[in-house]
Amino acid sequence: MKLTALLLAAALLVAPVSTAPAHASETSAGGEICMFQAPTGAERLGHHWGHVGWAYRWANGNKWDFGATERAGDVWNANGTFSQMLDRFRIPRSATGHQYYRYYKCGYTTLALQSAAFRMRAQLDTEDYHVRYNNCLTRSLMIFKAYDDNGELDDLGDGSDTSPNWFFDTMQGFGDRHDL
C-alpha cells in the first residue's frame, strides 16, 4: 500500500502539468476590444446617425479580428496586427474617396474568449439585418460580450434603438478617443 502511494506521488511529481487553456485561442488572461466610429455613416432624414465597427485582440496578443456590418448584406471581417487593423479601417468606403471611419476607442477585458467571439460573429453574419435591433452597433456589442462573457460588459447595454454616434461618444469603460 505504501509502495503504491509512493509510486503514485512520484508519478504526479514528474507528470507534465498543462497550463494551456482548453482551447489555444481562449485564455483567462485579459483581452482587449476596440470600437471604430464612422460619424458620417447611416445618414437618414438629413442626420448622420453614425456607424461603428468592432475588433478584439487574439489571446496571444499579436493579432486582431476586426470588421463591421456596413448595412444589410454588407458584412466584412479580417484579421491582422494592430497596425494592419488601423490601416484597414482607414480605407475610404465611399465614392468620394473620403475616409469613412475616423476614430476608435479601446478597452480591456477580464477574459479573452476569441473562439466564442468568432462563433458569435459567424452566427450574426447569417442573421437578417434590422436597422433598430440587429445592426452595426448591436452586433459589435454581442461580439464584445461573447469575447468576455463574465458580465462586466453588461453595462454597455444591447445598443437597440441607439444611435451609433451617441453610443460611441458616451460609452464608459473604454479609453480615450483616438484619431485614425
Give the model confidence (pLDDT) of 135-158 as tens digits.
999 999 999 999 998 888 888 889
Q: Which domain holds residue 94?
A: 25-179
Q: Is residue 62 part of a domain?
A: yes
Q: Report d(CA 178, CA 180) in Å as an integer.
A: 6
Q: In b/e form, how buried is each residue of 62-85, taking b as 16+ CB within 10 angstroms? A: ebbbbbbbbeeeebebeeeebeeb
Reported pTM: 0.80
Number of domains forming the structure of the chain: 1
13 in a domain, yes or no? no
Domain assignment present for residue 126? The answer is: yes
Residue 58 lies in a domain: yes
Is residue 108 a part of any domain in this protein?
Answer: yes
The pLDDT tens digits for 63-122 are 999 999 887 778 899 999 999 999 999 987 765 566 789 999 999 998 899 999 999 999
